[in-house]
């Protein structure tokens, strides 16, 4: 089942439609001072091809926190008239995002349909509703697809198991890690969690081993690639051959650190242009690495396919759905005079993300371990293992975040 006829269009017709609409979106963007400063005196009517788009500068996501501090609330990258927005969010960084008033503002409905969600399905939504848009991205997408949503958020496992047993949701949306926790805790406690049949997961690694474990438990799980800046970018389908690009988006894969597109098949950094006059986003470089797959999906959807997440172009890492950035590591270190250097190591254990903070310290005390743990929670909103080592023990390779999780 497809969400609509747009998904099966001739690729040339889709490309022509996107670039026919792009000049009006550029004109809308230029009314905002941030876009005007970035894009300069570009003539919107002249940007009607990929070659013309590639000449425009990119907006690097990792710069947004600083830009938003200089020009609150959104660094001038939103309309001066904020009344057509329905919600404002604050994601880790911090990065502040607006949400438009449309029924499915983050374009999540077609990803849910591709994952097997159908009208009147009851869905347990375990993405966070607290400040960040994750919960609302899937909540509104599920309701646009005709589903009934239980707004659960993450955590409170015992209460969630009671809800699952009572309301018997067939669908789950959230991180794959938390679904595994629910299933394992349910089995340990003798709670009935057998109602789950489908899942759309995001925000954390979804390796084949975990996908296969869900299948053994009767759950078909699919993944979506989404960000708080532009919503759902690409999503998995029943073909399980890469992720299909969402509609209303122009995807470029560029050489990291540049705005230069690479040939199809070559790994590069994801750059997205959102063709939406109400929330224009022009060439935002997200820092994620991927590559374009050749051909079209066997599922019948004709949009571009990508391999999925293949790492970061910078040292930023997403851990349990939250971004951890080098500047946050520096902030943690500054809070403790005993710390010489910090290194965050991200790994996987028991199909879950694990974050370990290794600190070179002149005073290896229990108090420092406790203080570092508190600082990590305060800055990143995540818990971490703390390991204290002698000065000079960490590798001298310039890394402050080492993502050691397997890819694929």
In a domain, 408, yes or no: no
The closest of 88, 86, 94, 89 to 68, measured between CA atoms, is: 94
Per-residue pLDDT of the chain (408 residues; tens, 9 = 90+): 999 999 999 999 999 999 999 999 999 999 999 999 999 999 999 999 999 999 999 999 999 999 999 999 999 998 767 788 999 999 988 999 999 999 999 999 999 999 999 999 999 999 999 999 999 999 999 999 999 999 999 999 999 999 999 999 999 999 999 999 999 999 999 999 999 999 999 998 899 999 999 999 999 999 999 999 999 999 999 999 999 999 999 999 999 878 999 999 999 999 999 999 989 999 999 999 899 999 999 999 999 999 988 888 777 888 988 889 888 998 999 999 999 989 999 999 988 999 999 999 998 999 999 999 999 999 999 999 999 999 999 987 767 898 999 866
Q: Are both 34 and 146 inside the same structural domain?
A: yes
Query: In this structure, is the dihedral angle defined by the CA atoms of residues 49, 55, 56 and 57, taken in order, positive or negative?
Result: positive
Same-domain pairing of 190 and 230: yes
Domain count, the chain: 2
Same domain, residue pair 220 and 344: no
Query: 138 and 123: one domain?
Result: yes
Q: Would you state the pLDDT for residue 80?
A: 62
Domain ranges, residue 227:
5-313
Q: Which of 262, 289, 313 is the last residue of a domain?
A: 313
254/121 same-domain check: yes
- CATH number for the domain spanning 244: value is 3.40.50.12780
Distance CA 386, CA 357 (A): 5
Q: Of 296, 313, 330, which residue sits at a domain end?
A: 313
Q: Determine the pLDDT at residue 7.
A: 97
**Per-residue confidence (pLDDT) for residue 387, from 0 to 100:** 97
**Residue 122 shares a structural domain with residue 259:** yes
Specify whether the CB–CB gap between 222 and 236 falls below 8 A.
yes
pLDDT score, position 383: 94
List the end-to-end C-alpha distance of the chain, in Å, as a whole number: 27
CATH number at residue 363: 3.30.300.30
Global pTM exceeds 0.85 = no
Nearest Cα to Cα of residue 68 among 97, 28, 106, 26: 97
Q: Are residues 230 and 285 in the same domain?
A: yes
Q: Are residues 360 and 281 in the same domain?
A: no
pLDDT score for 325:
84
Tell whether 238 and 257 lie within a shared domain: yes
Domain final position from 313, 335, 352: 313
The Cβ of residue 47 has, within 10 Å, a number of other Cβ atoms equal to 22
**pLDDT of res. 408:** 61
Looking at the structure, do residues 66 and 173 belong to the same domain, yes or no?
Answer: yes
Do 261 and 143 reside in the same domain of the chain?
yes
Q: In what order do the strands lie in the sheet with 305-306?
A: 148-151, 122-125, 171-174, 198-201, 220-227, 231-236, 243-245, 305-306, 292-293
């Amino acid at each position: 089942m497809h969400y609509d006829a747009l998904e099966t269009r001739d690729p040339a017709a889709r490309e022509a439609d996107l670039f026919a609409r792009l000049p009006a979106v550029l004109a809308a963007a230029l009314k905002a001072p941030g876009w005007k400063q970035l894009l300069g005196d570009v003539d919107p009517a002249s940007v009607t091809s990929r070659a013309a788009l590639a000449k425009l500068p990119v907006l690097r996501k990792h710069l947004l926190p600083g830009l938003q501090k200089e020009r609150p609330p959104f660094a001038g990258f939103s309309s001066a008239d904020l009344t057509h927005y329905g919600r404002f969010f604050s994601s880790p960084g911090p990065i502040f995002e607006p949400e438009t008033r449309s029924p499915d503002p983050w374009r999540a409905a077609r990803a849910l349909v591709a994952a097997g969600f159908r009208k009147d399905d009851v869905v347990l939504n375990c993405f966070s509703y607290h400040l960040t848009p994750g919960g609302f991205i899937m909540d509104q997408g599920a309701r646009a697809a005709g589903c009934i949503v239980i707004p659960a958020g993450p955590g409170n496992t015992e209460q969630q198991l009671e809800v699952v047993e009572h309301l018997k949701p067939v669908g789950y949306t959230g991180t794959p890690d938390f679904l595994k926790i629910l299933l394992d805790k349910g089995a340990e406690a003798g709670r009935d969690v057998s109602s789950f049949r489908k899942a759309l997961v995001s925000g954390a690694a979804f390796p084949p081993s975990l996908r296969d474990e869900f299948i053994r438990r009767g759950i078909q799980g699919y993944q979506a690639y989404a960000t708080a800046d532009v919503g759902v970018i690409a999503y998995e389908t029943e073909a399980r051959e890469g992720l299909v690009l969402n509609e209303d988006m122009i995807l470029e894969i560029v050489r990291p650190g540049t705005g230069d597109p690479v040939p199809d098949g070559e790994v590069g950094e994801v750059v997205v242009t959102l063709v939406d006059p109400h929330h224009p986003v022009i060439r935002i470089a997200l820092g994620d690495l991927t590559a374009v797959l050749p051909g079209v999906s066997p599922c019948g959807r004709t949009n571009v396919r990508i391999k999925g997440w293949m790492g970061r172009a910078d040292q930023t890492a997403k851990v349990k759905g939250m971004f951890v950035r080098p500047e946050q590591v520096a902030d943690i270190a500054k809070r403790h005079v005993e710390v010489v250097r910090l290194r965050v190591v991200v790994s996987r254990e028991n199909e879950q993300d694990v974050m370990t903070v290794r600190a070179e310290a002149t005073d290896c005390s229990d108090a420092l371990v406790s203080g570092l743990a508190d600082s990590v929670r305060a800055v990143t909103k995540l818990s971490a293992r703390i390991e204290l080592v002698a000065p000079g023990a960490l590798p001298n390779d310039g890394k402050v975040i080492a993502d050691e999780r397997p890819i694929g």
